[in-house]
Amino acid sequence: MKQKIYLPGIIALDIVLVGALFKMNHWAGAGILLTTGFIVLTLVFFPMALINAYRAAGNKQTLPLYIATYITVFMLFTGVLFKIMHWPGAGLLLMIDLPLPFVVFLPVYLIVTGKLDHFSIYKTIIVLLVLAFMSVFDALLALNVAKRKLNDSMTLASMYHRTALLKENKMVSSLPGDDPVTKAAQETLELINSAMDKLITASYSHGGSLDDDPYLMRYPDDRNFVTEVMITEGDPSLGSQLEESLNGFLDAVGVRGDTLLTRAKAMSLLYFNPDPVDGRSWYVRMFDGEYTGWSMVYLEMLRNNILLIMDEVMQNNRTNAGL
């Protein structure tokens, strides 16, 4: 019987460890592995282990202790999973989890064990140390280090934001309207601006626009906004439109005879590879489940590098015109 109880626990821990490895290396499937492992631990292993321990103890007075233990463990593991996966409500769960062991578990533990004869004080000390460790672990998760890094990324992006807008208007308007590169660039830049505008609006609780500083985004560490804006919304989605537009822009750049940039060099400059990888399109690989802040930084980089390519086109136009 004990071996059957330990088996799902060992399997779940192995899945969580593999999921953590995938998560650290940003490999596909990390979220599925971590979620599966935590579900097996909280819904299968811990209930089985606690029920078996309760039956082995044979003392009905300890039933509230086992119930309080499961509630505490379930809430703690749920909060950790939500935080790792950056799901909505993770911060609230961690705020609840931080005092939960001391408010729910510890009083029940002290009351129940106080009624038991010959109960060792050393067990109480060990329990207190474990609770202290759990509280410190939750507090470290609540620090949200990832969000700080994302805020730094947004600060970097905001340094180029308004300059890029002015440069964009000046550069595109200075090219002939019938130039194929100009038309393709205008379409691509409009899609990029639209994507950034929607991400900012989604992140602002009161609504926002591209004229606002991207650094002021409230939720740069959210992953739902990007997937929704770039992949799931619309038919075709904004991400697929952007991929098609980039292909058109690169084709227009590649066929010009008066620029040193080839399609391959421009693709490298834009970090753009339209060839499917593992059956996934470019826009899915770039934006599915990505942080809002880092997607904004990438879109900012994409816009600036398109403007760099346009700058070379302008220089070639002036050279060919003898200016």
Domain boundaries, the chain: 2-142, 145-320
- Please, are residues 39 and 48 in contact by the beta-carbon 8 Å criterion? no
pLDDT band at 136 (very low <50, low <70, confident <90, very high): low
The amino acid occupying position 141 is: L
- Segment 219-256, tens digit of pLDDT: 777 777 888 899 988 889 999 999 999 998 888 877 55
89: left (phi over 0), alpha (psi -120 to 50) or beta: left
pLDDT at residue 2 is higher than 80: no
- Cα(187)–Cα(38) distance, rounded to whole angstroms? 45
Farthest CA pair distance, the chain: 100
Closest CA to 142 of 94, 182, 79: 94
Question: What does the radius of gyration of the chain's CA atoms come to, in whole angstroms?
Answer: 27
pLDDT band at 307 (very low <50, low <70, confident <90, very high): confident
The amino acid occupying position 96 is: I
Segment among 98-112, 235-249, 301-315 with least mean pLDDT: 301-315
The model scores a pTM over 0.75: no
185: left (phi over 0), alpha (psi -120 to 50) or beta: alpha
**What is the DSSP-derived secondary structure letter of residue 61?**
G
Better-predicted residue by pLDDT, 129 or 237: 237
User: Exposure pattern of 234-258 as b/e (b: 16+ CB <10 Å)?
Assistant: eeebbbbbbbbbbbbbbebbbebee
Cite the DSSP H helix spans in the chain.
2-24, 30-40, 46-57, 63-85, 90-97, 100, 106-114, 121-142, 145-173, 180-203, 224-227, 238-255, 263-270, 282-287, 292-320
Non-local (6+) Cβ contacts of 182 within 8 A are 172, 175, 176, 310, 313
Place of tokens 């292993």: 45
Collapsing DSSP to helix, strand or coil, 147 comes out as helix
Most confident range, picked from 40-44, 155-159, 294-298: 40-44
What's the mean pLDDT in 283-289?
89
Q: Report the chain's terminal Cα–Cα distance, integer Å.
A: 88
Angle between helix 2-24 and 46-57 (nearest 10)? 150
pLDDT at residue 208 is higher than 60: no
- Segment 253-267, tens digit of pLDDT: 775 544 556 677 778
Angle between helix 238-255 and 180-203 (nearest 10)? 150
Look at residue 238 in the predicted model and tell me its pLDDT. Answer: 93
Look at residue 243 in the predicted model and tell me its pLDDT. Answer: 93
- Alpha-carbon distances of 251 from 136, 265, 311, rounded to whole Å: 55, 12, 17
pLDDT band at 173 (very low <50, low <70, confident <90, very high): low
Look at residue 201 in the predicted model and tell me its pLDDT. Answer: 81
Look at residue 3 in the predicted model and tell me its pLDDT. Answer: 63
Compute φ and ψ for 120, nearest 5 degrees: -75, 135
Look at residue 55 in the predicted model and tell me its pLDDT. Answer: 85
Look at residue 148 in the predicted model and tell me its pLDDT. Answer: 59
